[in-house]
Every structure is written in C-alpha cells, then in structure tokens.
Amino acid sequence: MVEEALSNFGLFIDDENKIRLIDPERVTDSAELRDECKDFTDNVLEFKKIVDTLIEKTEQYSKQVEAARLKAMGAKNMLKSAAKYRDFEKQQLQSLIKEKMVELERLRTEYESLQKTEREQNEKMEQLSLKAFIFALLITTTTVYCQSVSVTFPTFPANTDLGPCTCDITANKCDASCCCDPDCSPGDQQAFLCSTKANQYTK
C-alpha cells in the first residue's frame, strides 16, 4: 500500500528500503544500458582504431601499388624504346648486309675478270713459249744443218782457169762453204765458219 501511495507521487522504494525518485528496475536497466553504451563506445573506439590502421595500411599499399605501376610503366616504356632501338639496329644491319653483298658481287666480278685476264695471259705466254721453242728449234736445226752440210766440189781438167774464187761455181748464187763467193752474205760466211777454215777454196 505504501509503495503504491509513493508511486503515485513518483517515489519508489528499492531493495534496501530507500526512497528513490526513479524506479529501481529502471535504474538497473539504466545501469545496464550505461554499461552497454560504454562497451559500445569502447568497441566503436576499437573499431575506429582498426579502421584507422586499415586506412593507413591501405594508403601504404596504395603508395606501393602506385610505385609498382610507375615502375611497370617505366619498364614498358623501356621495352618500347628497346624494341624501337632493335628495329633501328636491324635496319642498319640490313643496310650494311646489302652494302656488303654489293661489294661482294663487285669483288666477285673483278675476280672473274682477273681470272679471265690471267687465263688469256697464260695462253699468250704458252703461245709465245711455243713460238720461242719452235724458233730456237729452227735456229738449232739450221745451225746444225749448216755445220754438217757436205759439199762436193767438181773436178776440172788440168790448166783450167777457174778465176780468183775457185769455189764460186754457180752464178748469182751463194755456193755452200765458199767463203770467197761474192753472192754469199756475211751471215752465210759466218755459218760457213770462214774465219777458221783454211783450204784451197777459201780466200
């Protein structure tokens, strides 16, 4: 009865028989709510710390990703530059190969021309050698023939006047081994060995 009368005036009696302005049950609920709010606040603060840490890590990862992206872009540009340089170097090498091929063709043509000239010169030298051999053989044969020719002199009756050159038998013709024959040239006389002969038909 007393509790109901006090409750009409907004007063309450707790378990310790003390008068309260608030219902003890509500006080208990408020305390629990306060504790829960405190726990919630602590959880929110902890969550905020976690979020801040996550944001910090995310920013770090973002910086690392950006650095990796820039590095990848640099590597890509370097690869493009290297590819362009390789293409340029390839073109230079192809041009150099073409120049060397032209030079090789020119040298091959020049070499073939020199070979042809060498063959022609060798043929001419062989012909000249053959002619020289034939000429030397003819000279040797003529000399041997002139040195080994045998002459038969005719006989005349006694007291026949044969003139100053007794071996000049044929008119207007050089008689063999006749050193006094006026029709014989100095070459014929040299071939007849007139400078060493001493017989009745020499002068």
Q: What is the pLDDT of residues 45-89, one digit of tens each?
A: 999 999 999 999 999 999 999 999 999 998 888 888 888 888 889
DSSP codes, 16-39: TS-EESS-HHHHHHHHHHHHHHHH
Q: Which of 14-23, 124-133, 174-183 has the lowest mean pLDDT?
A: 14-23
**pLDDT at residue 167 greater than cutoff 90:** no
The two structure tokens encoding residue 198: 């001493």
Letter for the amino acid at 113? S
Nearest to 182 by CA among 196, 197, 165: 165
- Reported pTM: 0.31
Residue 51, SS3 per DSSP? helix
DSSP 183: T
**pLDDT at residue 203 greater than cutoff 60:** no
**pLDDT at residue 98 greater than cutoff 60:** yes
Residue 193: the pLDDT is 78
What are the residue boundaries of the structural domains of the chain, listed by start? Answer: 2-73, 161-203
Distance between CA atoms of residues 194 and 187, nearest Å: 10
Q: Which is higher by pLDDT, 32 or 116? A: 116
Distance between CA atoms of residues 48 and 51, nearest Å: 5
**pLDDT at residue 136 greater than cutoff 50:** yes
